[in-house]
Structures are given as structure tokens and as C-alpha cells.
Chain A
Amino acid sequence: MKYFKTAIVLCIICGLCAVLIAFINYFTAPIIEKNKIEAQNKACSEIYPGLTYEEVELNGADSAIEKKWVAKDGDTVKGYIYSLNGKNSYGNISLLVGINLDGSAEKVVLTENTQSFASKVKNHVKSTYNNGATADVDNVDVKCGATFGATLVKELVLIAVNDYKGGAN
């Protein structure tokens, strides 16, 4: 009887907590989704400003690729934007990679960065990939990659480049 009461109390507390979380989630989930879409559109326009973005279906792509858009200027294709997500011991990284038609990386934008050294990753992306990066991204220097997620960023960029080169577009 004593153990039964203990189990019941724990179950009730867990149940109440679950209801409370579900209640808050009901109100915040649409706002979070809206924020993510807004951030993604803003980021897409940072890579290819003033263009329209059409989502492309993913066929047999790497699991790190979440979405893919084709950036168009009217009917002319200007490039492709990849949304990628990766994880390491320090947290998550979501980024958008713009790939030009010649296979070079146009720009990389961080959309989610929960790394312990978040600001370092941000600075690394800014200094390494946003100064006219080329297709030769595997030769980009990684400063102390093991410590702040730069290796993960590099891997994700390479996945996007390889997907484009592999003809998945």
C-alpha cells in the first residue's frame, strides 16, 4: 500500500507537469514555427537577395539535409539553398548553404546555433564562408575544430556541395 501511494503521487505529479507543458506548447508551437519560417526566409534572402525561393523535393539526399530550395530570378535559376542540421557533443547547428550553378558556395548562414561556444562558431562562419567561398571548401582551414564546432560546419557545407555535384538537383 505504501509503495502504491508513492507510485500514485509520482504519476500524478508527472501527469500534471505533462499537462502544463502541453498547454504552453499549444500556444507557443505556432509562434516558434512562424519565427523559424521568418528566420529562414530572411536567411534565404541574405544568400540570394531579391529572388523567389521554391522548395525542391529531396530524393535520396543525406540525412543532414532538411530542405532544399531553388532560388529563381523570374524563370532563371540562380542557385540552390540547402537547409542542413548537424549535432556534436557541444550542441546543434542548423545552417543554410547557398550553392551557385558552378558548384561554388555562395554564402553560409547560421539559423540555429546551440553550441556551448556559440559566438565562436558564428565568427568562424562569418570569417571563413562569407568572403566569397569557393567550391574548394574541403581545404578551408579549421581553427581548433575540435573545440567549437567548426568541423561540424565544414562537414555540413561539404554535404551540400557534394549533393549539388552529385546531381541530386
Chain B
Amino acid sequence: MENKPRKLYELTKGIIKENPLFVLLLGTCPSLATTTSLEGAIGMGFLFTFVLIGSNVVISLLRKIIPSQIKIPCYIVIIATFVTIVKMLSEAFLPELYSTLGVFISLIVVNCIVLGRAEAFASKNSVGASLLDGIGMGIGYTLALVIMALVREILGTGGLTFGEIFTFLPYVSFTPLEKFAMSIFTMPTGAFLVLGVILAILAYHANKKANLERVKAKIEKEKLAKQASEIKEA
């Protein structure tokens, strides 16, 4: 019975509680570069999730075989293999996505989330748990990219465009706010601004919650102290 909530925790922790981008602040470089369009962000998230799941599962499978002296080179070789596979598959089946993401597909090899999960989780846990961790973290990262891309594309272009990168979708461009578009949001500066504002909002909520709990604990403590003094007086 205890196993089920743990599995659920492994799957969901990466989505909000331990979101790799917004909470752990890992993988910020590609997130700033690939979130100029919603389609690009979804594509990057999908490729990244594939690499993360694949590398997590293989590293977990080989965790008892890999000697500790060469674990990092082995992890890099495994991650690089999955990145190469993803690169070849995207070039063959999603050429538009491949040319849009460009060098950032290859750079997944050095993404600290992938190596971080391999070292901190997959090398110490079972295949099942590593798979769930990979799925959860992948969804969390994709979600973070999608949020950033949504804000940047709407503010930067005045709307959303579909079918430009995923050519199997019909081309739809909905830009009702084109007149008010601020092109700074399609630039790296805009990416930093959006990430900063999102992190500030999250920090505000986290602090608000922590402060509320601190106040509650203080009131409870004072109440107990008052009761104790009343008993003493009586």
C-alpha cells in the first residue's frame, strides 16, 4: 500500500514541487533560447523528455555494473547516445523542428537536469522509479517551457501561430494583438524578463505560505503559553 503513494510522488514531484526550471533552476539556458514560439517549446520539451526517460532507464539498469570511478563518463556516453538518436529522428521526421531548435538539440547532452537526475536519482533507484522520475521531470520541464513560450509569443508577436514547425498541423495564425506586440519578448532580454517575473511570482507565493504557517505556529505557541500560565495561577 505504501508503494502506490511513493510511485505517485516520484511521478508528480517534478511537475510542481520540484519543477526543474522554476524550483530547481536547472536548464535555464535552453529555456531562454527555445521559448520564442509555443511550438518550439513543445518540441524541445518532447525531445528533452525522451532523452531524460531513456537515459534514466538505461542508467538505472546499469547502476550495479558501472564502476564508481567511471560513472560520469558512462552517463555522458549514454545521454549523448539518446541525444544523437533524438537528433537523427527529428531530422528525419520533424525537419522543421530540427532546423528551428538547431544547436539546442545537441546541447541537451550538457543539460544539467539530465546529468543531475542520472547522478542524483537513476543511479540510486529502481528502473520503475527512474522511469516515473524521468516522465515527471520531463513533463515539469515541458510545462515550464510552455508557460514561458505562451507569455513570450503572445507579448512578442501579439498572438499564437500553429503549423509552422509541426507541419502536419494545419497552418493557423491568430494574432489579434499584433498592433501591441513588443518584439523585446522574442529576444533573449524578454526571456530573462519573463523568467524573472515568473520566479518572483512563485517566490511571493512560497513566502506567503511560509509566513502564514509561521504566524499560525506563533499564535498556537502563545495560546499554549497562556493556557499553561492560567493553569499555574489556578
Q: Which residues of A contact B (CB under 8 A)?
A: 5-6, 9-10, 13-14, 17, 20-21, 24-25, 27-28, 31-32, 35, 39, 90-91, 112-116, 118-119
User: When the two chains form their complex, are residues B66 and A9 in contact, meaning their CB atoms are under 8 A apart?
Assistant: yes
User: When the two chains form their complex, are residues B77 and A17 in contact, meaning their CB atoms are under 8 A apart?
Assistant: yes
Contact partner, A119, options B36, B84, B88, Cβ 8 Å:
B36
Contact partner, A10, options B36, B70, B100, B102, Cβ 8 Å:
B70
User: When the two chains form their complex, are residues A118 and B67 in contact, meaning their CB atoms are under 8 A apart?
Assistant: no
Smallest Cβ-Cβ distance to A23: which chain B residue: B85
User: When the two chains form their complex, are residues B92 and A35 in contact, meaning their CB atoms are under 8 A apart?
Assistant: yes
User: When the two chains form their complex, are residues B103 and A116 in contact, meaning their CB atoms are under 8 A apart?
Assistant: yes
Q: Given the complex, which residues of B lie within 8 Å of A24, measured CB to CB?
A: 84-85, 88-89
A6-B88 CB under 8 A given contacts A114-B103, A115-B102: no
For residue B37, give the distance in angstroms from its CB to the closest CB of chain A: 9
B5 CB within 8 Å of chain A: no
Looking at B70, B77, B91, B92, the one whose CB has the most chain A CB atoms below 10 A away is B92
Contact string against A for B residues 14-55, beta-carbon threshold 8 Å, 1 for contact and 0 otherwise: 000000000000000000010010000000000000000000
Looking at A5, A27, A113, A119, the one whose CB has the most chain B CB atoms below 10 A away is A119
Contact partner, A6, options B36, B70, B91, B92, Cβ 8 Å:
B70
Contact partner, B73, options A10, A21, A27, A91, Cβ 8 Å:
A10
Q: Given the complex, which residues of A lie within 8 Å of B81, measured CB to CB?
A: 17, 20-21
B1 CB within 8 Å of chain A: no
Besides A6-B67, A114-B102, A115-B103, 10 other CB < 8 A contacts?
Answer: A6-B69, A9-B74, A13-B62, A13-B77, A21-B88, A24-B88, A113-B102, A114-B103, A115-B102, A119-B186
Q: List 7 A-B contacts (CB under 8 A).
A: A10-B70, A20-B85, A25-B88, A27-B92, A32-B91, A115-B103, A118-B99
Give the B interface residue count (CB, 8 A): 27
Residues of B127-149 at the interface with A, using a CB-CB cut-off of 8 Å, are none
Residues of B56-74 at the interface with A, using a CB-CB cut-off of 8 Å, are 62, 65-67, 69-70, 73-74
Q: Given the complex, which residues of A lie within 8 Å of B100, measured CB to CB?
A: 118
Residues of B105-141 at the interface with A, using a CB-CB cut-off of 8 Å, are none
A35-B91 CB under 8 A given contacts A114-B99, A116-B33, A118-B100: yes
For residue A122, give the distance in angstroms from its CB to the closest CB of chain B: 10
Q: Which residues of B contact A (CB under 8 A)?
A: 33, 36, 62, 65-67, 69-70, 73-74, 77-78, 80-81, 84-85, 88-89, 91-93, 95, 99-100, 102-103, 186
What does DSSP make chain B's interface, helix, strand, loop or mixed?
helix
Cα distance A5–B65 in the bound complex, in angstroms: 10
User: When the two chains form their complex, are residues B102 and A28 in contact, meaning their CB atoms are under 8 A apart?
Assistant: no
Cα distance A134–B84 in the bound complex, in angstroms: 41
Q: Given the complex, which residues of B lie within 8 Å of A17, measured CB to CB?
A: 77-78, 80-81
For residue B34, give the distance in angstroms from its CB to the closest CB of chain A: 10
Cα distance A91–B33 in the bound complex, in angstroms: 14
Smallest Cβ-Cβ distance to B62: which chain A residue: A13
Cα distance A101–B100 in the bound complex, in angstroms: 34
User: When the two chains form their complex, are residues B93 and A31 in contact, meaning their CB atoms are under 8 A apart?
Assistant: yes
Contact partner, A91, options B67, B89, B92, B103, Cβ 8 Å:
B103
For residue A109, give the distance in angstroms from its CB to the closest CB of chain B: 13
For residue A25, give the distance in angstroms from its CB to the closest CB of chain B: 6
Cα distance A107–B84 in the bound complex, in angstroms: 34
User: When the two chains form their complex, are residues B95 and A39 in contact, meaning their CB atoms are under 8 A apart?
Assistant: yes
Contact partner, A112, options B66, B99, B186, Cβ 8 Å:
B99
For residue A28, give the distance in angstroms from its CB to the closest CB of chain B: 4
User: When the two chains form their complex, are residues B103 and A14 in contact, meaning their CB atoms are under 8 A apart?
Assistant: no
For residue B231, give the distance in angstroms from its CB to the closest CB of chain A: 68
